[in-house]
Structure 1
């Protein structure tokens, strides 16, 4: 019982110092790891090596993948490729179903681009579609927000799912992508159906601020990028890595569908996540135009490094915390308790949802939860490759529930949509709860058949 109380105190401490006192999650997780090591009576000689080995090993395993994925996202954002993709999707889907259009655009753009950045980029487009169709800005705000959120928490190469996959030992990212894409689609559609309730609901919007991005028209936004890329080159940096990773996963199936010759070796190599993302980065770099494209490329790579650095460190710190827990007697206690409950996938989902709701950050929630759950996978019936992949998705589903005042994304959406805070609580927060619950329900059904 004491060991469980120590765990509760450590998690509560992480939430308190990050949410109330705004301490860096990196320091909070490393501090929890160090305090936990002493509290669980890990031999003093082993404490530092336990923490540093997990920290360095995680950076080695996942660091380059997160870094290259972030670089692709930044280039797509700055080159106008995200707008080009949105333009093409509007031509295909049209504006007859504005919420569906916003959901699909968000779903695709957020695979490499952070949901916060994606919303800022696409907000002028959302406004244009809203005005053109005469529907409520509240409905399109919810649809775009949840479309972006779905793939942000469930589909690599977004850093959150990558970090959770690393902590939970999922090496087959192709399997994770293949399951994550349809799960994210179901979650986004569930939230879209909720958004449809507000298609014609009048809302008293807040007055626009002087620097509000909504003061810019969609045409002005497009013009600011100059000549936009064509649709195919814009989509290629996303599609290439996904197809290569999934192709390599298929090639490595025990039955070896393409044999074990040269073709297998080539596909296995280019489908390695790091190599696949390097190829995607080269495709993204080809989007840059003009005489100053080398300068622009270097500048955007520097920005990507600054963006990815905190994520890398949070991920590594979370792994250190998880390593301390794995080395403690807590795992035997929890394993014996949870194995008899038969709740399996609900464990990572509920822990992630509690952490997300308490401290606001989806990434911190995913990193912390996956570190906590990793040593327990076998005990809760998720020790197989498929079980670990579904556990990653369950963590991602929980990390959607619930976005509210302590989540920066909540404020990005409500501010740019000029949605009053009280209305945002009743709609945006509820939409993320529905989305995360729908995602988990889908994961649970899949688990029922494959576990």
Structure 2
């Protein structure tokens, strides 16, 4: 138990108090855990490399492809097209629902930080036209992104958790989407309640940039319609880095259907794979997930097409050839994909390092000791990964590191506590959403763009993230009855 405590403390201490990052912190934590637990030094190194390699082989390619799709959505204007369509469909007075829904969809492949920067100009445009409610729109947009960023693969964090715990990715997509849909009303309700209270707290330069001299407070009753926002005011759209349209070519615009293809097709293939295999297993009478099983017929086809690597490869091909104009230079596309790969690199390393820590916990016997301790308590098993993720998130700020650390700690305990890998994965992901504040980079992105400082920032952004974290707990307890 001391080995486990010191291992987690090492991650937190390294991230908070040194110049090193979470990747090195997780590796040091694995070494500390193995040493304190009494494992031979070379055995600890072997466990680390085996755990690192196994995790990397399961999610490394998928994370790289997912980030590549997100980059193409960003530069092509597809993310902006999705947002404008949601606003137009939902209608006047429901703009905060549109922002939350858009954020949730865009953040599946796009990192929260860049996704919020891409979508924020549209939130400002809507606020200017309805002459108010910018804070409400910004909070709904930002926390809508938080939901799927934390709960739905192919976002890197949930992918890493699935790889470490051995959870089925398709099942996690379905369960994560259900959780996100059920939590979306919490996001909208909190934003609608707290936003008006904080509107007067927006700093002056942001207020001036958003409203540009308009009279604030008229709500959605004045200053144009939602259709106006969706159809014109193109100057408010973010720069998509496509450059000037060559002479003789039509201006590049992406419609909703094309914009959604690189997202919907891979997710649909992954989910179809999960469903087809489950039906085929039942038909063959192979209900034990550990039993040997060979897919037949349609399930065999979907096992290939619905494998995350194949599905996301299809997604990135669709993104490049349907979202980018034909006159985009090949070198420019390669440059964008290289930028995406660079941004994915650290996430991949952190996730694999979490796998290394988990393997050390297994091989050193720390996991067995923790399982015995937990089994002697009346604490529901699902709360263990949830609380570990919560504490690590509060301590060091990164949701990805929190859920991966929780998965690493939980992996050796899943069987002993009677938890399914899927339920444990959901608990890790949900627990990592708690109280985003000063040690979280996304906190600064949202609050700076929204113009909230000090207590107002805590009430707005830290409050809304804590609300969805708290609301996820009863959902987890209900899920534990059926998963």
User: Shorter-chain TM-score: what band?
Assistant: over 0.9
**Aligned partner of residue 64 in structure 2, secondary structure:** helix
Work out whether residues 122 and 237 of structure 2, in 8 Å CA contact, stay in contact via their aligned partners in 1: no
Q: Take 2:42 and 2:479, find their aligned partners in 1: how far apart are those partners?
A: 44
Match of 2:429 in 1: 396
Match of 1:440 in 2: 473
1:188 and 2:184 aligned: yes
Query: How do 1:37-48 residues align onto structure 2 when only pairs under 5 Å count?
Result: 37-48=34-45
Work out whether residues 16 and 396 of structure 2, in 8 Å CA contact, stay in contact via their aligned partners in 1: yes
Q: What is the alpha-carbon root mean square deviation over aligned residues?
A: 2.2
Deviation by residue 1:159-188 (Cα, 9 ceiling, x = unmatched): 000000111111x21111111101012222
| TM-score relative to the length of structure 2 | 0.87
Work out whether residues 123 and 137 of structure 2, in 8 Å CA contact, stay in contact via their aligned partners in 1: yes
Which range is displaced more, 142-151 or 420-429? 420-429
How much does 1:264 deviate?
3.1
Q: Take 2:375 and 2:331, find their aligned partners in 1: how far apart are those partners?
A: 56
**Aligned partner of residue 462 in structure 2, secondary structure:** helix
Match of 1:19 in 2: 16
Deviation by residue 1:254-285 (Cα, 9 ceiling, x = unmatched): 54589965533222210011000000111111
| TM-score relative to the length of structure 1 | 0.93
Of residues 292, 315, 340, the one that matches 2:351 is 315
How much does 1:290 deviate?
4.0
Which range is displaced more, 275-284 or 52-61? 52-61
Which range is displaced more, 269-278 or 226-235? 226-235
Match of 1:174 in 2: 170
Work out whether residues 151 and 180 of structure 2, in 8 Å CA contact, stay in contact via their aligned partners in 1: yes
Work out whether residues 397 and 437 of structure 1, in 8 Å CA contact, stay in contact via their aligned partners in 2: no
Structure with bigger gyration radius: 2
**Aligned partner of residue 111 in structure 1, secondary structure:** coil
Of residues 437, 443, 447, the one that matches 1:414 is 447
Q: Take 2:318 and 2:236, find their aligned partners in 1: how far apart are those partners?
A: 23
How much does 1:214 deviate?
9.9
Match of 1:236 in 2: 261
Unaligned runs of 5+ in 1: none
Deviation by residue 1:412-432 (Cα, 9 ceiling, x = unmatched): 000001112220111210110
Q: Take 2:379 and 2:416, find their aligned partners in 1: how far apart are those partners?
A: 10
1:374 and 2:433 aligned: no
Deviation by residue 1:15-73 (Cα, 9 ceiling, x = unmatched): 12202324211111111111221221112331221111111121111110111111111
Query: Number of matched residues?
Result: 440
Work out whether residues 414 and 421 of structure 1, in 8 Å CA contact, stay in contact via their aligned partners in 2: no
1:207 and 2:204 aligned: yes
Work out whether residues 201 and 456 of structure 2, in 8 Å CA contact, stay in contact via their aligned partners in 1: no
Which range is displaced more, 41-50 or 343-352? 41-50
Of residues 134, 150, 154, the one that matches 1:153 is 150
**Aligned partner of residue 237 in structure 2, secondary structure:** helix
Deviation by residue 1:325-362 (Cα, 9 ceiling, x = unmatched): 11123223211111232411111111101111110001
Q: Residues 7, 199 of structure 1: CA spacing in aligned structure 2 closer, same or farther, 3 A cutoff?
A: closer
**Aligned partner of residue 123 in structure 1, secondary structure:** helix
1:301 and 2:337 aligned: yes
Q: Residues 314, 447 of structure 1: CA spacing in aligned structure 2 closer, same or farther, 3 A cutoff?
A: same
Which range is displaced more, 142-151 or 281-290? 281-290
1:127 and 2:124 aligned: yes
1:248 and 2:263 aligned: no
Q: Take 2:414 and 2:160, find their aligned partners in 1: how far apart are those partners?
A: 16
Deviation by residue 1:287-317 (Cα, 9 ceiling, x = unmatched): 1114234222201110111011001100111
Work out whether residues 73 and 112 of structure 1, in 8 Å CA contact, stay in contact via their aligned partners in 2: yes
Of residues 153, 159, 162, the one that matches 1:162 is 159
Match of 1:359 in 2: 396
Unaligned runs of 5+ in 2: 213-228, 241-250, 285-294
Work out whether residues 318 and 371 of structure 1, in 8 Å CA contact, stay in contact via their aligned partners in 2: yes
Match of 1:60 in 2: 57
Query: How do 1:84-99 residues align onto structure 2 when only pairs under 5 Å count?
Result: 84-99=81-96
Which range is displaced more, 98-107 or 328-337? 328-337
Deviation by residue 1:360-416 (Cα, 9 ceiling, x = unmatched): 00111111110011001122220xxxx211211111111110100100001000000
